[in-house]
Structures are given as C-alpha cells and as structure tokens.
Amino acid sequence: MSNTKVDVSIDGALAAITLSTASGVNVLSSTVLSRFSEALTKVRDTSGVRVLTIQAEGKVFIAGADIKEMADFSERQARTYGEHGQAVFNDLECMPCLTVASINGAALGGGLELALACDFRIAVKTAKLGLPETSLGLTPGWGGIGRLRRLIGPACAKKLFFSAMPISAEDGLPLGLVDDIVNSAEDLTSRVSVFCKSFRRGGPRAVALAKRAFMDGDDVGAFVECFGGDESKEGLAAFVEKRPASWME
C-alpha cells in the first residue's frame, strides 16, 4: 500500500496540496485518494482561496494508481476504486478556485488524470506525460479518457491511449496538453507563482461561476447569478470610477 503523504498549506489567496513519499515515487492508492479528497475539502471550505496548486516532491509528480493494490482486484473492487477516483477528480475539476498542476518528473496514468482535472498544467519540459494503462491490459478509469479527448482532440488522444507511450511536456505544449513549460525544476515554483498572479483581475465569485458555466454550458444562469452578490456591484463601480476593483488590491 502506498505511503504517499498529502499535505495542505494555505496562505491567503493561495493554497497548495503537496504529495510526497520517502521513495520519491508518489502513488494514488485508495487511502491517498481519500487523503487528497480531504485536502480538497479543506481548501474549498477556506474562504478567500483563489488559486490551488497541486505539486509533488520527489522524482515524479505522480506515477499513477497503486499497482500492488490493483493486482488481485475483482470486478467489484475495480468498480469501487474507479468510482472513488472519478468522484475525487470530479471534485477537483469543480473546485471554485482556479487549479494548477505543477509537474516535475513523470505524470503517468492516474497522475496525468489528476493533472487533467486541473484548470492548467505547468511542467518541466522533460517531464513525461502519458496514459500507459493499455500496456498493463487496463484502461484509464478516473475520467482521463474524456478529459484528454476534449483537451487535445480525439486523434492525438487516441495515439496516447493506444500506444501507451508517454511524451515530453515540451512535445505536449503545442498539443495543448500543458499550458507552459520551464527548463528545470528550480524554475517551476517561480513560474507557477507568476502564472497564478496573472488571474488577479478576475473576481473570485465570477471566476467560480465561469468555471461552472464552462462545464455545464449554462452561460445565462451564471450571468444572472452574478447579480445576486456584491462582487458585480463592486466590479461595475470600479470600472465607472476608473479604479482597480477591491479584489485586485
């Protein structure tokens, strides 16, 4: 069973969930998925968080699901594990704050599925990204098939699914698999910090509503709901008065 730890830190508008293990290889067992879910709940329940970074210590971002745990699964156990991971990653995708996967090393299988559930992905250019499940006689089970298809299109997604071969983050950039790359792990933290600050213009509630509309397609519903709070009043007043809105200060 994986001994991967999941730690949460919150500093005002910025939150981070960090995965780590003594071996440097982070794995998503059922227990780790539960810990990750608890971490998401803590961030979601903390007011004022605007950006959540998912990061990992060690030589990989996340190596994937726990192979040892899955080795003797029955179909019933596989369903439980699959539905558990799906639910956790759906919660990640639906977080009201913006989410950024900070990828150093490999993000494979469930590791890439987790990253795909984030709004953005920034990676060291040599990081390996892939869904190698078919090489194990398996398929991705935590939403990665649909998310990857929507992100990079069916043709490119099929190549990753069916070949089971990873690609570098540098090769994934033009496909849209990652949003930005850096040269080394030392550059990753500062680049992610700059990237996160680029979203300070957007009102936190408006961003959360826009994220919801992006997923459910209800643009009008989100627009209407904006007028049920004070944020839109402040934003419109700031525009008329030619000053920054309060959330930008």
pLDDT of res. 144: 95
* The predicted structure's pLDDT at residue 23: 86
Average pLDDT over residues 139-149: 95
1: pLDDT strictly greater than 60: no
Name the residue with higher pLDDT: 196 or 32.
32
**pLDDT tens profile 147-204:** 999 999 999 999 999 999 999 999 999 999 999 999 998 899 999 999 988 888 999 9
Q: Is the pLDDT reported for residue 24 higher than 90?
A: no
Going through the chain in order, the beta strands assigned E by DSSP cover 5-11, 14-20, 27-28, 51-56, 60-62, 64-65, 98-103, 106-108, 120-124, 128-130, 167-168, 180-182
What is the rounded distance in angstroms from the CA atom of residue 73 to the CA atom of residue 38? 25
Query: Do 223 and 153 share a structural domain?
Result: no
- Is 83 labeled as catalytic in the residue annotation? no
How confident is the model over 42-99, as pLDDT tens digits? 999 999 999 999 999 988 899 999 999 999 999 999 999 999 999 999 999 999 999 9
Q: Kindly report the CATH number assigned to the domain that includes residue 114.
A: 3.90.226.10
Catalytic residue, from 57, 133, 170, 225: name it: 133
- Catalytic-labelled residue, pool 75, 83, 113, 225: 113
Both 172 and 218 in one domain: the answer is no
| b/e sequence 166-182, b meaning 16+ C-beta within 10 Å | bbbbeebbebebbbbbb
Supply the pLDDT for residue 58: 82
**What 3-state class would DSSP assign to 101?**
strand
Same domain (yes/no): 236, 136: no
- Structurally, how many domains does the chain consist of? 2
Q: Please say if 133 is a catalytic residue.
A: yes
Same domain, 193 and 243: no
CATH number for the domain that contains residue 220 = 1.10.12
Average pLDDT over residues 88-112: 96
pLDDT in tens, 226-244: 999 999 999 999 999 999 9
Query: Which of 205, 232, 214, 238 shows the shortest CA–CA distance to 49?
Result: 205
Nearest to 142 by CA among 85, 101, 93, 88: 85
Considering the domain architecture, whether residues 46 and 141 belong to the same structural domain is answered as yes
Instruction: Kindly state whether residues 208 and 174 are assigned to the same domain.
Output: no
Query: Residues 175, 222: one domain?
Result: no
Query: Do residues 159 and 213 both lie within one domain?
Result: no
116 plus 191 within the same structural domain: yes
Same-domain check for residues 163 and 218: no
Q: What is the rounded average pLDDT of the residues 111-137?
A: 96
Owning domain of residue 86? 5-197
| 50 and 85 both lie in a single domain | yes
- Residues 124 and 64 reside in one and the same domain: yes
pLDDT of amino acid 2: 64
Residue 194 is predicted with a pLDDT of 92
The stretch 20-33 carries a mean pLDDT of: 92
Percent of the chain topping pLDDT 70: 99
Q: Can you tell me the distance from the alpha carbon of 113 to that of 191, in angstroms, rounded to the nearest whole number?
A: 22
Whole-number pLDDT of residue 52: 97
